[in-house]
Amino acid sequence: MATMERIGITKLRHHHLLLVVLLLVVAAAGGVGSVQAAEEDEMSGRRRRSRRRRAADVMVPITILNSAVDKGAVCMDGTPPAYHLDPGSGGGNRSWVVNLEGGGWCNNARTCRFRTASRHGSSDHMERRIAFTGIMSSAAADNPDFHSWNRVKIRYCDSGSFAGDAFDEGLKLQFRGQRIWGAVIQHLLDVGMASAEHVLLTGCSAGGLAAILHCDQLRALLPAAATVKCLSDGGLFLDAVDVAGGRSLRSYYGDVVGLQAVAPNLPETCTDHLDATSCFFPQNIIDGIKTPIFLLNAAYDVWQIEQSLAPNAADTSGTWRVCKFNRSACNASQLQFLQGFRDQMVAAVRVFSESRSNGLFINSCFAHCQSELTATWNGGSPALQNKGIAKSVGDWYFGRAEVKAIDCPYPCDKTCHNII
């Protein structure tokens, strides 16, 4: 330790000596004013380099919300919920992006127990620092409209899109997504969000579904004068017929809803006329949501192709095995089937799109979630009507333009970041 201190002192003295020489040279050339200018330029350069490093390398630490345990708001294994917060600055101090983490669901004893050994079932297994990119980025170049806002990611450890409220005695598992949602949101209100002027609730995949389910709930908790809107990315899961003629995702969702006691927390505008499983599908919810929503989705959502349209259980002959992971390997009949899925998605948003307050960006890409990665958010983003995703969402949120963009069918779009 003493050796390291001596080395540090030697370096510091060397630095001071160089600075003295620099000051003498600059003073000889142009006087004290030039010295001050040189010092200011050096400090300004350091600040710029610091900002660039922070924007590129920021890793946001986790906050474990221990106080939530007393409210029964716990992960599946009973550990406390958690979130990551990167505070806003300047004009963004009273604005908030609240991001609900995604990560699928669990529907039975085996899959739920498995998830308790992962970050999706226990805060003990969550990363202690995570990168904020895309819509969560603090870099103005990457995230022009929201970079200076308070940006918070609520971690996902209930496996029910933050909507369940049950304890399974046999499995010894907690399904407390609704309580986690309530406890973390109340905590955020207490630490500053209660005075928010702008709030955007976002989520990807299972988090995108959660953003839809909780959109009106958040609106009710915030000041009437605040601008509150919701963005669902890759969350438009469809009640679609699979390649065997069944409804694989509907069966799966039925198990999730039953196991996790989701029904009481679903929007009453849907459950007053449809069963609970149907009301876990966004297509049956979105028309009744009063708060403005932006739907960002790939018309050829790869998660839905792989897990809902052509899961292994429905594709017993393996006909779809290559196609679902490589679009160029799909034959004419398979492409026709996928075009039918796109048509169903377009039909599902028809009434939703009639509201001036809602927004749409449905591109003909083979992708799943496009707002949380810089490459698809703003760094060469897919474009519709000559606008990328970040610009489209910003224009919609701030009312700069109406955004109702639906792409032509595959393979017309050359701006896609296809991932299969």
What CA–CA distance (Å, rounded) separates 204 from 102?
5
**β-pair partners for 175:** 166
Q: Is 368 a catalytic residue?
A: yes
- Out of 84, 187, 214, 368, pick the active-site residue: 368
Structure tokens at 132: 């904020």
DSSP category for residue 305: I
Catalytic status, residue 205: yes
CB-CB contact of 195 with 94 (8 Å): yes
- Closest among 293, 396, 281, 289 to 344, alpha carbons compared: 281
Alpha helix (H) residue ranges in 312-388: 332-348, 374-377
Structure token digits, residue 398: 């701030």
Q: Which residue type, as a one-letter code, is found at position 12?
A: L
| 8 A C-beta contact, residue 350 and residue 410 | no
Region for residue 277 given its phi and psi (left: phi exceeds 0; alpha: psi -120 to 50; beta: otherwise): alpha
Determine which one of 123, 148, 161, 205 is catalytic. 205
Catalytic residue among 145, 158, 301, 407: 301
Encoded amino acid at 107, one letter: N
Question: Whole-angstrom Cα distance, residue 121 to residue 76?
Answer: 5
Q: How many CB atoms lie within 10 A of CB 409?
A: 15
Contact 193, 208 (CB under 8 A): no
Catalytic residues: 205, 301, 368
